[in-house]
Amino acid sequence: MRRLVSTCLAVLVTACAMPNPYYDPAKPHHTPAGFRNNYPHAGPQGYWKWQRERWREGRPRKPAEGYRFEVVARGELANPSVTWIGHATLLLRVGGLNFLTDPQFSERASPLAFAGPRRVVPPAIALADLPHIDAVLVSHSHYDHLDAASVRALAAQPGGPPVFFAGLGLRPWFAALGIESVEELDWWETRRLRGAEIRFVPVQHWSARTPWDRNRTLWGGFVVAHPDLRFFFAGDTGYSRDFRDIAARVGPVDLAAIPIGGYAPRWFMQAMHVDPTEAVQIHLDLAARRSVAIHWGTFDDLTDESLYEPPARLREALAGRGLSPEVFWVLKHGESRSLEGVSRAAREPARAF
């Protein structure tokens, strides 16, 4: 037993000490052991204090008795359009391409099948009912954003696998699943896919799938530039100056997918998860024509706000900035919105990456 414990500790220490194979000292977000955010911020403190508070105060509070999230039956999907499947999973259709963001179709957002945050709403479109997916945008490695069973199913879809776009360091994870159609990107790097440019951009967050791989893979958002639409996907993020940097480098976006949930308690979550007020500020920083709310109302027990609170807080935040709710869509699970007429392309020349 002692030898087993010693071996496990040795493996853990070795894993923690492994150098970053992507390390470039000319890039400030690279470190010898992994990656870091662009702007200084207080890291999360007091995880066990938070857990004690949750136990003592009975958080997170469950939806009121009789409350039900509405799931919209799938109809014909327009092109261009956006459909909220749940949490951070969106289906974007533009110019004959089908993009899927942060695929999570499993019952739990957890490495364990029997424990961890559980869905309160099933995926609004089943994996088998998706149109053929051309590209999957993976923002980071957390279990509520990257799910092995969902990725395997997508790789096995009829007609061939999609291209998985992900941050540096995630290719080995995909390779362990037998998936080779992966494009790794550093921040600000661009790839092309059938008339679209896919650019990986910095957001303020972190990564981990085990206790010993924290920040060893790169997290980020995406800007997809197509002649018909310019789309931004945040994945998961705290608020930082990164959004003004993105706007300065790529120009205004037509549609931004921005988290509105996962923010409580603020003393613990603020550095890495925006609240609805900050989500509205991101919308303004990006000069987005429209935004769509993600990262809410799907998994229980992730954070402390009630599952149905974020939309109400978002309405208040929009009103406080003199903005109409129509500029920041809160979709029902499975609801689609046509993006016809949303693009600036007819009026403004697209800025090349």
CATH superfamily assigned to domain 76-338: Ribonuclease Z/Hydroxyacylglutathione hydrolase-like (3.60.15.10)
pLDDT for res 12: 43
Q: How far apart are CA 351 and CA 287, in angstroms?
A: 14
- pLDDT tens per residue across span 303-312: 889 888 999 9
Q: Which of 16-20, 198-202, 225-229 has the lowest mean pLDDT?
A: 16-20
pLDDT for res 231: 98
pLDDT for res 40: 83
Full-model pTM: 0.90
Q: Determine the average pLDDT of the residues in 48-53.
A: 66
142: exposed, middle or buried (C-beta count within 10 Å: 0-12, 13-18, 19+)?
buried
Query: H or E segment at 193?
Result: strand 190-193
pLDDT at 83 over 70: yes
Q: Determine the average pLDDT of the residues in 98-119.
A: 94
User: If we measure between CA atoms, which residue out of 52, 75, 159, 142 comes closest to residue 337?
Assistant: 75
pLDDT at 7 over 50: no
H helix runs in the chain, sequence order: 2-17, 47-57, 148-155, 171-176, 242-250, 266-269, 276-285, 309-320
pLDDT for res 277: 98
Task: Spell out the domain ranges in the chain.
Answer: 76-338
Q: What angle do CA 107, 109, 112 make, to 5 degrees?
A: 85
Q: Determine the average pLDDT of the residues in 184-201.
A: 98
Contact predicate 265/50, CB 8 Å: yes
pLDDT for res 227: 94
pLDDT at 146 over 50: yes
Q: Give percent above pLDDT 90 in the chain.
A: 75
pLDDT at 93 over 70: yes
Characterize the bridge pairing of strands 190-193 and 182-185.
unpaired
In the chain, the amino acid numbered 230 is R
Direct distance between the N- and C-terminal alpha carbons of the chain, in angstroms, rounded to an integer:
56
Mean pLDDT for all residues in the chain: 89
